[in-house]
Structure 1
Amino acid sequence: MVSDAMSTPSHPLPGAVGLSHLRAYGWEAADGVCGGSPHLHLVCTEAYVVTGGHGSVQTLSPDGFRDIPLRAGSLAWFTPGTVHRMVQGSDLRITVLMQNSGLPEAGDAVFTFPPEVLADPERYAAAATLPPGTGADTETAARRRRDLAVEGYLALREAMTAGDGGPYRAFQQAAARLVRARVPAWRELWRAGALAAAEHTGAQLDALESGEPSYLAEATAYQSEPSRLNGFGMCGRRDEYALPGTTLPHDGKPTA
């Protein structure tokens, strides 16, 4: 059966993951590459499921610099601390699966802005926040934000390819300092989302083991459609779903 609450289901997606759809930006950056705003996540692993077109994702990690090809059917994912930059080839379209739904929208993602911007929380917030909506002013601000992130990213990449991982590690430390005050709120989101989903599975296993699977009487199905189209995300134009714990209402703050 399909629940009457199809548009606002009371349960998160499986495993309390986040979900969105992206079309990579086609704006050319200072290095001649078209694509999104480089950034990292502090506590969330992110996965790209490529549904169309082609391009790549550039990453910086202790592995060094990598340029991972993306094409329809590809799957790529990266763990916390990995700087990643989506690169547009031709009509690159991706479904994004995000660990710990709600945390990226709460600031878990940090742009690779230059060090002087990262060192000043107010300056960082001003550079990272977009005007509401999807109009020309928002597009201009999103492109300016992308260019500033690329500026910092290119310095990190240049140092890393020269064998110097110091600037990359310094960026990780700066990102961690920038979000430290938010950790208590993140912990509550995690407890209500990903941790609660895992504990719910544990309770179901207990019920099965005891021979009393009464929870199966609550079985149902849900359906949803994107609630916001063509938003300006970090990597590209973003379609979002207003599901509990999945995507918070758009307020101009950074999203993936």
Structure 2
Amino acid sequence: MVTFEGLPGAVAVSHLRVYDWPAADGLRGGTPHLHLTCSEGYVVVGGRGSVQTLTATGFRQTPLSPGALVWFTPGTIHRLVNEDGLRIVVLMQNSGLPEAGDAVLTLPPRFLAGPAVYREVVDLPVDGTEAEQEKAARARRDLAVEGFLALRDAAEAGDPGPLAAFHRAAAALVRPRTDDWRERWLRGAAAAAEATRTQLDALAVADPGHLADASVHAEQPFALGRFGMCGRLDVYAG
């Protein structure tokens, strides 16, 4: 019998306090980016704000208030806007992949030319002080907002070229990571689906054996207040 003991469906869970740093356009919030293989969901638990999204179908702004559930699929560029203490429980598909680099920030094209140039901008100083990490996180946020606004302006002017070019650049940046991602997927989401298949096969012949292996898990966040792309994160191991 195949077993899987991660969070349901191999999702990842974190608690997010969205940045309230003002950007060049006067809005406060996080770093625009997209995911290449992972859907993302928000359950709003406090405060107020919105999520700005950009896809091949255009720009959209979705209000966020307590109780709202919003999710979007891979390829959706998203930017969280914090209007008043916005706090969110974030659900990420394919636990492990987002943490392994399944996100590309909307940096201006000059920073998307290759992995080394890109990582120099987006990586935070591992051994830096909190002030140094905040400075780096704000700098990459500001660059990503610059790139996002250019992509949005082009899309709203009817020019799909810059967004398509960003998609190509994002795919090229992550290509070297795909073998590692496949292994993480096999150990995670694929294993979770396979466990369900074997349980259904067993139940089809009235075999309840897997029920005797039931278990309960509980944990606290393993990281508190980590500087993420969109805000300060409390992260669960899953």
TM-score in same-fold range (> 0.5): yes
**How well do the aligned residues superpose, as a CA RMSD in angstroms?**
1.1
Choose which of 52, 55, 75 in structure 2 pairs with 1:81: 75
Which residue pairs with 1:178 in the alignment? 173
Tell me which amino acid in the other structure corresponds to 2:135.
Answer: T
1:242 Cα deviation (Å)? 2.3
1:120 Cα deviation (Å)? 2.6
Instruction: Tell me the distance in 1 between the aligned counterparts of 2:221 and 2:131.
Output: 22
1:199 Cα deviation (Å)? 0.5
Offset from partner CA, 1:171-221 (integer Å, 9 cap, x none): 011000000111111111111100100000000011111111111111121
Q: Report the secondary structure of 2:83's partner residue.
A: strand
Choose which of 224, 228, 234 in structure 2 pairs with 1:233: 228
Instruction: Tell me the distance in 1 between the aligned counterparts of 2:149 and 2:192.
Output: 39
Q: Report the secondary structure of 1:130's partner residue.
A: coil
Which residue pairs with 1:23 in the alignment? 17
Gaps of at least 5 residues in structure 1 are 1-9, 244-256
Which residue pairs with 1:247 in the alignment? none
Tell me which amino acid in the other structure corresponds to 1:196.
Answer: A
Q: Report the secondary structure of 1:145's partner residue.
A: helix
Tell me which amino acid in the other structure corresponds to 1:163.
Answer: G
Which residue pairs with 2:194 in the alignment? 199
1:163 Cα deviation (Å)? 1.3
Instruction: Tell me the distance in 2 between the aligned counterparts of 1:163 and 1:236.
Output: 32
Which residue pairs with 1:6 in the alignment? none
Instruction: Tell me the distance in 2 between the aligned counterparts of 1:25 and 1:132.
Output: 20
Whether 1:63 and 2:57 are equivalent positions in the alignment is: yes
1:63 Cα deviation (Å)? 2.0
Q: Report the secondary structure of 2:67's partner residue.
A: coil
Gaps of at least 5 residues in structure 2 are none
Whether 1:117 and 2:134 are equivalent positions in the alignment is: no
Instruction: Tell me the distance in 2 between the aligned counterparts of 1:224 and 1:238.
Output: 16
Percent identity between matched residues is 61
Instruction: Tell me the distance in 2 between the aligned counterparts of 1:42 and 1:184.
Output: 14
Q: Do 2:12 and 2:236's aligned partners in 1 also have CA atoms closer than 8 Å?
A: no
Which residue pairs with 1:148 in the alignment? 143
Q: Report the secondary structure of 2:188's partner residue.
A: helix
1:236 Cα deviation (Å)? 0.5
Tell me which amino acid in the other structure corresponds to 2:230.
Answer: C
1:62 Cα deviation (Å)? 1.7
Instruction: Tell me the distance in 2 between the aligned counterparts of 1:49 and 1:164.
Output: 33
Q: Report the secondary structure of 1:237's partner residue.
A: strand
Instruction: Tell me the distance in 2 between the aligned counterparts of 1:188 and 1:213.
Output: 30
Which residue pairs with 2:162 in the alignment? 167
Tell me which amino acid in the other structure corresponds to 1:81.
Answer: G
